Chain A
Amino acid sequence: MEKQIEIILVDDEALFRSGIKFILEREPNLKVVFEASNGNELLNYLKRAKRLPDIILMDLKMPMLNGVETTKILNTLYPQLKVIALSSYDTRSFIINMINEGVSSYIIKNSTPQEMIETINKVHQKGFYYNKLTLKIINDEKKNKSNTAVKSVLDPDFLTNREYQILEHICLEFNTQEIAEKLSISPRTIEVHRNNLMEKTKSKNVAGLVVFALQNDLISIETLLKMS
């Protein structure tokens, strides 16, 4: 059997957690390994944990240490962790705030179980999954951004052709193996390029790469929307 995706739920509402757990664990490939009712509980668990989970489902509004602050701490302590924000807030500022913290996805609490499961699977496989609403919000945000970063992007040497090609494929939700096959280069080379891309765009993960590409017009929102 394929290795299960290990998930931690962070939400202050115990009944909500147990509901989500029930639904997720009906899926044979999903496993909830820990439940925390606030950021502190999560951090304490991670400190002791022998193995990090694959995915963290993070509520925003929690007592003690809320989801935004917790995500910030995770970014410095465990940058490899993939965080999915799961909140009842569905407004632009909440979404963009979490995207800027580098979350791999943002879903609202009244999403259907299918949407949640799909998001978890996609984030696990590709490193990110943004639905239409989130993509639009990321895309709109570039208009408000100062163009300090854009200058370097316009520099013809900013990305090599190969890097650009790989960035495009990442945005289109291809994983390393698939990109390697499509471009007939080794997965190892793809990983090197990907790390260079993250270095150049100052992204902490693949999700950050996609946000960067979208906000700097390296890929159009239409292309991404057509795909999803």
Chain B
Amino acid sequence: MENIENVEIIRVIIYIFFAFILMGSAVLVFVYFSRKKIIEQKIKNREKEIAHQKTLINAIIETQEKERNRIAQDLHDDISSGLNVVAINCYMLKTPNLDYNEQLKITNTILELTNKVLQSSRRIAHDLLPPVIDKFGLHEGIKELVENINNIGQLQIKYNNHLNFDDLAHEKHLHVFRILQELINNSLKHSEANTITIDFNQDSDGIKLHYSDNGKGFDVTNSVHKKGLGMKNIESRISLLQAKLTVDSKLNQGTHFLIHF
């Protein structure tokens, strides 16, 4: 009897033992597969991120090339051609037997042209980088930008600033300026708005830039709007600023951008 009981106990123990092993391996297999899934998910996310970075880099390069192209055009059209005519007129001055009136006429042309070329070179330099930012900081730069746009008259911009940009790292100033330029450009081109407000304020969370226009807005869920070069540029600047962008817009209800950094 005892023997049989012992055998029974041993058998039960063996069953339990196997049951444990089975359960254990089931757990292991489960952990293995779920981890694999998590890692796969992570890889997928990374790949997405990399693809996104690539589109941003492409956007940066594309913009750079466009800019270069424009600058080359400007230099050729405004500077080279201008100087060519100045040179021709100087040769004209050198021709013998000119009367006083001819001399006066040629000299005036040279002066006029020199002024035009000077203006163009100033404009080209200004387009590249408004000197005011470098000399007087972001606040003055934005003020100038706003003033220039307001003078055109297509729309009016209200600019409020409650903080001191000196606290903001200097290399960030240009990014903020370019983002604003791009946003204003978008509003001018697409929104049909007549008012834009730009508002900077700071709380315990950090700096907040509110930008809104009262234009026709757009459908934020429609990815067409994200694909524009301008928007990609804004995105890449935002990632350089390590900021966060929230876009809020509905058709016919204006657009609001919040940049938090």
Spell out A's residues near B (CB within 8 Å): 13, 15-16, 19-20, 22-23, 26, 61, 88, 109-110, 112-113
Contact = CB atoms under 8 A, between A and B. Distances in A.
B95 interface: yes
B81 interface: yes
25 contacts: A13-B81, A13-B84, A15-B85, A15-B109, A15-B113, A16-B81, A16-B84, A16-B85, A16-B88, A19-B85, A19-B89, A19-B92, A20-B88, A23-B88, A23-B91, A23-B92, A23-B95, A26-B95, A61-B76, A88-B80, A109-B84, A109-B87, A110-B84, A110-B87, A112-B91
Nearest to A13: B81
Interface of B: 76, 80-81, 84-85, 87-89, 91-92, 95, 109, 113
Nearest to B113: A15
Contact of A88 (B84, B89, B95): B84
Contacts, number: 33
A129 B233 CA distance: 51
A195 B85 CA distance: 40
B81 A22 contact: no
A20 to B, nearest CB: 6
B41 to A, nearest CB: 52
A22 B87 CA distance: 13
B76 A88 contact: yes
Q: Looking at B81, B85, B88, which has the most chain A CB atoms within 10 Å of its CB?
A: B88
A94 B92 CA distance: 28
Contacts of A110: 84, 87
A112 B92 CA distance: 11
Contacts of B95: 23, 26
Nearest to A108: B84
A42 to B, nearest CB: 19
A214 to B, nearest CB: 29
B134 to A, nearest CB: 32
Nearest to A112: B91
